[in-house]
Amino acid sequence: MRSIDHLLIGGGIAGAACARELRAQGADGSIALVGRELDPPYHRPPCTKGYLRGEVAREATAVLPSGWWADNDVELLTRTSVVALDLDRRVATLSTKEEVAFGTALLATGAMVRRLGVDGSELEGIHYVRALGNADAVRRDLAPGMRVLLVGGSYIACEVAASLAQLGHECTVLMQEALPMERSFGATAGGWVRELLTGHGVTFVAQDALERFEGSGGRLTHAVTAAGRRLPADLAVVGVGAVADATLARRAQLEIGRSGGVAADAGLRTSHPDVYAAGDACEFGSVLHRRPVRIEHEEVARTQGEHAARGILGAAEAYAEAPYFWCDLADWATLEYVGLGGAADQEELDGDPSSGRFAIRFLREGRLDGVMAVGRPDVLAGARDDLVEAARAAQPSAR
């Protein structure tokens, strides 16, 4: 049996960032990254943005240049899963049946889409978007001027609606919320998103829910809602959230958090001292939030991968990056957010949303919780520091 010093499980940005940081920090041991994806680690955001619209080439989505892996002596095993992890023996079993001994491991197994179980879910023309392959499937399935239904009111549905409306499709967003993205950013921001997308021809069906899909000849033709609406649809994209993929961790008897993610401490170390977690699958004890959280944002996955690398090499710092997130609505606008993502009880609006340049400061119990900005990079620049400062002031011992 061969032996790997650092085994990185999961082929997304967290694993890639961990590999890069390990080498950047001078780690000279052997490193292998094992991922089930067909492609080397890539950025997921283009799947609903430029890649979906055909503006970004597949190779341009790669996290690292294709030659990086060999140049840095990091073994990259795509299309390969770790199917079992024996933590007592420190042996991983791969889908190739090979057993690999390891010194330390990173669990960055990502998240899985929430699948709909409504009647008609098996019809042709119903898609999810998480991977490049999903975006390929949507593009293959589209014909000019299609009626597209987006199920969900969060950023996946809004980004896909914007992208496909820009390509000339007739998009309808069906959502339980009154306003798009209001669960994350409140009514002011939600109203702005609705106005922007409506202005580009997107229709919203709000405060309603999908009851079932209907079709003809095995192909989607309509969606029927709980309120009895019958919405015509040639194609549907479902964006109703994701759940942590903690299957391997659970099987290895690692501790699982309340959100279903792999439980980790403030430094991203799991219940096994030599196993770290990062990215969508990781539920960590956040010193900024002062509770365990699991965050599904690319920038968080990247910085957690880097943080875990430093932990693997002996650093004992808490992960204390203020989460950053952005959302591109075609090339019409970019919404940026830095913050803790909590339920704010007060909003401070700076600027006029109708001008396309504004910012919202979210407060909870008088304390800064997050900042959202559109066309205001000046506001966002200082927000990270303000947030970390505010969180530390609330808990002076946090480091």
Partner 1 sequence: MIYDPVEGDPDGGIPPGTPFEDIPDTWSCPVCGARKRDFQPLEED
Binding to partner 1 in span 18-37, by CB under 8 A: 36
Minimum CB separation of residue 302 from partner 1 in Å reads 20
Minimum CB separation of residue 49 from partner 1 in Å reads 17
Instruction: Tell me whether residue 95 or residue 221 sits nearer to partner 1 (CB atom).
Output: 95
**Chain CA centroid to CA 257, Å:** 18
Does 85 bind partner 1 (CB under 8 A)? Our answer is no
Does 62 bind partner 1 (CB under 8 A)? Our answer is no
Does 256 bind partner 1 (CB under 8 A)? Our answer is no
Instruction: Tell me whether residue 95 or residue 225 sits nearer to partner 1 (CB atom).
Output: 95
- Residue 171 CA to residue 148 CA, distance in Å, equals 5
Which amino acid, one-letter code, is at 246?
A
- Three-state secondary structure call for residue 75: strand
Does 56 bind partner 1 (CB under 8 A)? Our answer is no
Instruction: Tell me whether residue 14 or residue 193 sits nearer to partner 1 (CB atom).
Output: 14
Does 61 bind partner 1 (CB under 8 A)? Our answer is no
Instruction: Tell me whether residue 119 or residue 345 sits nearer to partner 1 (CB atom).
Output: 119
Q: How many CA atoms lie within 13 A of 364 on its CB side?
A: 15
Instruction: Tell me whether residue 114 or residue 200 sits nearer to partner 1 (CB atom).
Output: 114
Instruction: Tell me whether residue 83 or residue 388 sits nearer to partner 1 (CB atom).
Output: 83
Q: Which residue of 25, 72, 95, 271 would you call a contact of partner 1, by CB under 8 A?
A: 95
Does 79 bind partner 1 (CB under 8 A)? Our answer is yes
DSSP letters, 24-54, are HTT--S-EEEE-SSSSSSB-SGGGTTTTTTT
Is there a contact between 106 and 10 (Cβ–Cβ < 8 Å)? yes
Does 49 bind partner 1 (CB under 8 A)? Our answer is no
Q: Please choose, out of 114-122, 155-163, 181-189, 292-300, the segment that lies near partner 1 by the rule CB under 8 A.
A: 114-122
Burial 220-254 (b: 16+ CB within 10 A, else e): bbbbbeeeeeebebbbbbbbbebbbbbebbeebeb
Strands 235-238 and 275-277: unpaired
Q: Which residue of 30, 72, 121, 188 would you call a contact of partner 1, by CB under 8 A?
A: 121
- Residue 255 CA to residue 393 CA, distance in Å, equals 31
Instruction: Tell me whether residue 111 or residue 379 sits nearer to partner 1 (CB atom).
Output: 111
**Chain CA centroid to CA 39, Å:** 18
Residue 353 DSSP code: G
Q: Please choose, out of 13-21, 76-84, 169-177, 294-302, the segment that lies near partner 1 by the rule CB under 8 A.
A: 76-84
What are the E-state strand segments in 74-137?
74-77, 82-86, 91-94, 99-107, 111-113, 126-128
User: Which residues of the chain form contacts with partner 1 (CB under 8 A)?
Assistant: 36, 79-81, 83, 95-97, 110, 112-113, 115, 121-122, 127-131, 133-134, 137, 238, 245
